[in-house]
Amino acid sequence: VKMFDRRTGLEMLDRDTCLELLAAEQVGRLAIGGSGAPVLMPVNYALDGETVVFRTDPGTKLERAGRWGRAAFEIDSFDREARTGWSVVVTGRLEEVTRHDAATLQRVTRLPLFPWAPGEKHHWLRLVPTQITGRRVGGPAR
């Protein structure tokens, strides 16, 4: 059964499909609010249950931005020739995983999360989802 968003006409992906797609990808884009324009950047990530985990270094934009709290994370894949694709957006609270949460820190440091960018990246951040949504665009229905 396909679900469609009445407002946009786009097919909605169910939560399980969103989580499968999140588990399969390695790079997404993180948007972090604050005063002025959002900070927006691609990041390597891994999934810890339903939580999105990132690594960062002290002093970087992501590390500084991580203190701001609310964030959104997106993955997608598009076929330019077919004009089709899908996207998943996770919205939630961005927080650092510190030694005060030893069990979580131990778990996330064991994730297969190896950033492509240089730097030790010994800080772990996670986005705890309040909402996970997915959409598909194009395809046979059109």
User: Which residues are near a second copy by CB under 8 A?
Assistant: 7-10, 26-27, 29, 31-34, 36-42, 57, 59-61, 70-74, 76, 78, 80, 83-85, 87, 89, 91-92, 116-119, 130, 137-138, 142
Cβ atoms of 86 and 134 within 8 Å: the answer is: yes
Q: Count CB atoms within 10 A of the CB of residue 118.
A: 7
Q: Shortest approach of a second copy to residue 105 CB, angstroms?
A: 23
Q: Which is nearer to a second copy, 1 or 35 (CB)?
A: 35
* Pair of tokens at residue 93: 């609270």
Cβ atoms of 126 and 52 within 8 Å: the answer is: yes
Q: Shortest approach of a second copy to residue 138 CB, angstroms?
A: 5
Q: Which is nearer to a second copy, 5 or 98 (CB)?
A: 5
Cβ atoms of 81 and 135 within 8 Å: the answer is: no
Q: Shortest approach of a second copy to residue 85 CB, angstroms?
A: 7
Q: Which is nearer to a second copy, 7 or 100 (CB)?
A: 7
Q: Shortest approach of a second copy to residue 80 CB, angstroms?
A: 6
What amino acid occupies position 40? L
Q: Which is nearer to a second copy, 32 or 108 (CB)?
A: 32
3-state secondary structure 49-83: CCEEEEEECCCCHHHHHHHHCEEEEEEEEEECCCC
